[in-house]
Amino acid sequence: MRRWIVSGIVGLAFVGSSAAAPAGMAELWPQWRGSERDGSAPGAPWPGDLAGLEQVWRVEALGPSYSGPIVGADRVFVTETVEGEMEGVRALDRETGRELWRARWPGKGEVPPFARANGDWIRSTPAYDGASLFVGGMQEILVSLNATTGAEQWRIDFPKKYGTPVPPFGFVSSPLVGGDALFVQAADSLIRLDKKTGEVVWRSAVIDSGMTSSGAFSSPVLATLGGKRQVVIQDRAALHGVDPESGAILWTQVLPSFRGALILTPTVVGDSIFTSAYQNGSRMFRVRATAEGFAVEPLWEYKASGYMSSPVVYQGHAYIHLANNRVTCIDLKTGEGTWTSESFGKYWSLARRGDRILALDASGELILLAADPKTMQVLDRKEVPGDDTWAHLAVSGDQVFVRDLGGVTAYRWKAAPERPVPVAP
């Protein structure tokens, strides 16, 4: 049985703009899937090949991690699991890779044996607001660090505070910064914290604990739907819209799921939401305001099933890596697939700039695609050094950052030669 609870302190004003990213950080990579949490990367257009993408530096001998790199104006943050007993973060100089500081604390996780193929490493990608870094560890402990020094500012042990079990797969969902608020899917619920103090403002959307329900795999996003700003979350059974000020649940849409395998982050397009479930296809819903509150209208279903990879969207089409290791393009207006590719690796992380898509395959390869709804166009491919690459790639300005299980590599697009200006006769 599912039960919905809202508790805690209500009445703090919500501060947020139309973007999920902290102000002034749009071209950085401060959170899960970038500043807008949708894989988009603003900046100068990418070229049509990877020949100009050159390695700038590489840092090896890092503890393994599934967390994606976080990129600030002058530094890069990477998490690591150290000897299976400690978790931590390193801050690296963005230009040179030189270590600026490191922070560590006791922490480990043990996922179920069937999910242990690549280890029990830290999973949640941190969030950065320009001053603080918020890091979730496998034991569902959230730590706030001073981003300049690495000093701990506060921490909260969610299982201890709420008497909930440590999720069987650890703390997977990534925290979301919105103004002075920090939203986390933890303790089998959605929690809003004061990001400066770690004080709980409210707790909402509480569910019963269990192997197929505990520990959200997806990550929350901020969006305006039906004219109302809300936090959109996907737990292991349903989508929800939550009022960011009060924690009130605005609407719920139950989803079919296989053992709670709702993993990718939902993608908001206008007033609609795209999501996909392992073995259960892809779906689009419209959220609209009504006299009674909000209504969720199913728009279409499509047979292709996503798994762990969240899509990118360009001009009304979603490009998504599927559970069968293929890639497909879906017309979001009609719900029809326009093409499906050959098989690739088990996981892709995706970033988009204009009509170019950069994909990082789990096998350790960067793939540049054209965002073409008519046919799959692989423009170029480039192997990256290191081990398997399960962490989400990060893109900021003319740089690309790849975290593999043993290290992190920084790349920079080489400036294209200027074309000569034709002289009139």
Q: What is the CATH number of the domain that holds 249?
A: 2.130.10.10
Residue 45, in any domain of the structure? no
Three-class DSSP category at 113:
helix
Instruction: State the pLDDT at residue 84.
Output: 85
Residue 20, in any domain of the structure? no
Beta strands in 131-237 (DSSP E): 132-136, 141-146, 152-157, 176-178, 181-186, 189-194, 200-204, 221-225, 228-234
Residue 370, in any domain of the structure? yes
Instruction: State the pLDDT at residue 210.
Output: 85
Distance, CA of 80 to CA of 86 (rounded, Å): 8
Residue 25, in any domain of the structure? no
Instruction: Choose the weakest-confidence range: 106-120, 123-137, 157-171, 377-391.
Output: 106-120
Whether the pLDDT of residue 329 is over 60: the answer is yes
Residue 173, in any domain of the structure? yes
Residue 7, in any domain of the structure? no
Copy the structure tokens of residue 353: 């700039």
Q: What is the DSSP letter of 66?
A: -
Instruction: State the pLDDT at residue 315.
Output: 97
Question: What's the pLDDT tens digit per position in 139-157?
Answer: 999 999 999 999 999 999 9
Whether the pLDDT of residue 12 is over 80: the answer is no
Residue 33, in any domain of the structure? no
| Mean pLDDT of all residues in 282-305 | 97
Whether the pLDDT of residue 7 is over 90: the answer is no
Whether the pLDDT of residue 9 is over 60: the answer is no
Question: In which domain, by residue range, is 291 found?
Answer: 53-413
Residue 12, in any domain of the structure? no
Nearest to 314 by CA among 366, 282, 352: 352
- 277 close to 231: Cβ distance less than 8 angstroms: no
**Confidence class for position 423, pLDDT limits 50, 70, 90:** low
Instruction: State the pLDDT at residue 417.
Output: 41
Instruction: State the pLDDT at residue 16.
Output: 35
Phi, psi of 352 (to 5 degrees): -130, 135
Question: What's the pLDDT tens digit per position in 354-375?
Answer: 999 999 999 999 999 999 999 9
| Mean pLDDT of all residues in 77-88 | 94
Instruction: State the pLDDT at residue 120.
Output: 84
Whether the pLDDT of residue 212 is over 90: the answer is no
Question: What's the pLDDT tens digit per position in 47-75?
Answer: 999 999 999 999 999 999 999 999 999 99
Nearest to 382 by CA among 46, 50, 57, 56: 50
Q: What percent of the chain has pLDDT over 70?
A: 91
| Mean pLDDT of all residues in 244-273 | 96
Distance, CA of 149 to CA of 151 (rounded, Å): 5
Instruction: State the pLDDT at residue 23.
Output: 57
Nearest to 267 by CA among 239, 229, 244: 239
**Confidence class for position 221, pLDDT limits 50, 70, 90:** very high
Q: What is the CA radius of gyration of the chain?
A: 21
Distance, CA of 205 to CA of 189 (rounded, Å): 5
| Mean pLDDT of all residues in 233-260 | 96
- Across the chain, mean pLDDT equals 91
Secondary structure percentages of the chain, helix, strand, coil, to 5:
0, 45, 55
Whether the pLDDT of residue 246 is over 50: the answer is yes
Domain count, the chain: 1
Instruction: Choose the weakest-confidence range: 206-210, 319-323, 368-372.
Output: 206-210
Instruction: State the pLDDT at residue 276.
Output: 97
